[in-house]
Amino acid sequence: HNLNLNEFSCTINASLDLFNVETINTISQRLHSILKQFFTSVDDEINKSIYEISLTLPNERLLMQSMNNTQVSFSSPLTCIHHEFVYQVMKHPQKLAVELDEQSLTYAELLYYVQVLSLHLINNYAVVPGEIICQCVERSLSMVIGIMAIEMSGGVYCPLSPRDPQHRLHTLIEQTQCRIVLLHWLTKMKFIGDISYVDVEPILSNRFDESIVDINQLSNVTVTPENIAYIIFTSGSTGIPKAIQTRHRNFSNFVYSLHHTRALNEQDVVAQICAPTYDVHMMEIIGEPISMKLVHRLRNHIQNKCGIYNIYAPAETTVVSIYHCIEPISLETSIPLGRLFPNEQYKVLDMFFQSIAIEQEGELFIGGVGIFAGYLNRDDLTKKSLITIDNELFYRSGDLVKTDRKGYILYISRKDYQVKLRGQRIELGEIEQCILKIPSISPCIVIKWGDDHLVAYVQSSDIDEVQLRKHCQSHLPSHMTPSLFVILDKLPLNPNGKIDRKLLPPPNFSSKYLTNLDKLLLPMNENEVIIHHIWCDLLKQKQISTNTNIFTLGGHSLLIMQLFHRYKIEFCLETN
């Protein structure tokens, strides 16, 4: 520090064997920026905390600003979901709207059945705008009719999975306080109690007669873009699922943005593949945190003209907020989350809510038009998840990311114990809380093992795996039921007395079922030999007893689909 010239100078010595010149220059620029902020502070800022000093450089701030320059104005005003649907019917009345196997409906036919069911809900069940109506059906034309009918009647659509255990379905219904559930014959047996159950299947058997539809009555139903359109349940760390509320304008803006990106147009055919409890089923596109291995597998099975998109899709930000189009011949070694959807915003912040420098790890915050309306009846959780920054509302994702110098957002990991398993977001704490309801269980830890498995470690001397699995299957959806339960006399602790996850013994999916040769049951005929060979091949085992439950070996729904495919080939089965 030269007192005469009032200058501060610094020399950085660095080994070029360890650092490249660009890194050294960046360190120098950051130090210069820090010192400049110190020496140019006005009197009321001299006592600022050190964390309030920004490490970002002007060129980095410019890059972040350009990435957040996503404003797009649409020619049509944002409206409600069912209004947009009716507009499409007016444009394309005879165009095919939905198809399943041998069944299909044009847009005009679909509108007719939607109107009939809407009037049925209003006239026979006194549905009022804003009322939550659940639907629990298998993938069918009835599912599509039910969604639109709930919206047209002014209700709030809430999907339930037919594959969830009865106990969980009733818990979710109680949480929404809904009094009406739309069903069809396959799901009727799931429900009992003082709730009105509407079978939507007979609607399709009605003769097409537009004269019975009272258009004026439906026109009097008042719904605005600010009203809640649908609710999606997601896993909750406290053991209680969270109900995410999405407005009509949130979804309408997403659809307009999707069209703006040219990822979808009116000539496309969209396959409905996601579970109805996953919000992407409201607008189906391919997407999931993706690996190059999966990209290559997809390219081997689909045409080159089909685009593959990696999407970042928390339900709290309405289906998609960040996306990346993967080129047909991609040289990328890892797939980024991508860049922002139109009219979305993002920030990467540290623990003190200060901006993070380029290539540095921080938590991802999403803002913009897709931000949800909050968790149903959980203001405490909403307050933790929605943060006001610079007078704008942002969703705190809990995902750790970084921004590279090309402006792409890259996923790193979670900052908590939330995991993604086969497309489903899971709070491990919800599974742990479920297991802890068993009186003989004290500590319990659930971890994700590899890409496909959940493993539960429990401390108990008075329970077996069969009891644990039965309990979880009766309270949790199948994707949240652990593949393996490891029962220990005592869970390992760290010096602070907390469970040490690093010291948990690695799971062995096969040892318990394969080591006792006295109980090993071998294939008895030609068909069993073929099935045994397929199981060993897919499960990477040398020997499997014929009485083994596939889930005790780490099996899951996707693996069962692979088994089915192999069975079709080996036994020349026809798809039915």
User: Per residue in 120-140, pLDDT tens?
Assistant: 999 999 999 999 999 999 888
The answer to whether residues 548 and 505 touch, using CB atoms and an 8 Å cutoff, is no
Instruction: Name beta bridge partners: 196.
Output: 180
Residue 411 bridge partners (DSSP): 401
Name the pLDDT band for 47 (thresholds 50, 70, 90). Answer: low
> Span 81-223: which CATH code?
3.40.50.980
What pLDDT digit, counting tens, does each position of 407-434 carry? 999 999 888 888 888 767 899 999 999 9
**What confidence tier does 565 reach under pLDDT thresholds 50, 70, 90?**
confident
- The pLDDT assigned to 238 comes to 76
* Distances, alpha carbon 160 to alpha carbons 74, 138, 410, 531, in Å: 33, 10, 33, 34
Q: Does the pLDDT value for residue 567 go beyond 50?
A: yes
For domain 512-571, give its CATH number from 1.10.3470, 1.10.1200, 3.40.140, 1.20.1070: 1.10.1200
Burial class (CB in 10 A: 0-12, 13-18, 19+), 83: middle
> Which tens digits make up the pLDDT trace of 169-215?
999 999 999 999 999 877 877 777 778 888 888 776 766 666 677 88
The conformation of residue 127, written as its DSSP 8-state character, comes to -
* Strand-by-strand arrangement of the 196-199 sheet: 196-199, 180-183, 132-136, 156-159, 228-234, 242-247, 374-375
Strand 180-183 and strand 132-136: the pairing is parallel
Beta bridge partner(s), residue 245:
231, 374
pLDDT for residue 209: 67
Give the per-residue pLDDT at 52. Answer: 80
Q: Where are the domains of the chain?
A: 1-53, 81-223, 428-507, 512-571
Domain 428-507 falls under CATH 3.30.300.30: yes
pTM: 0.81
285 falls in which pLDDT band (50, 70, 90)?
very low
Helix (H, G, I), strand (E, B) or coil at 111: helix
CA torsion angle for 422, 425, 429, 432 (degrees, to 10)? -30
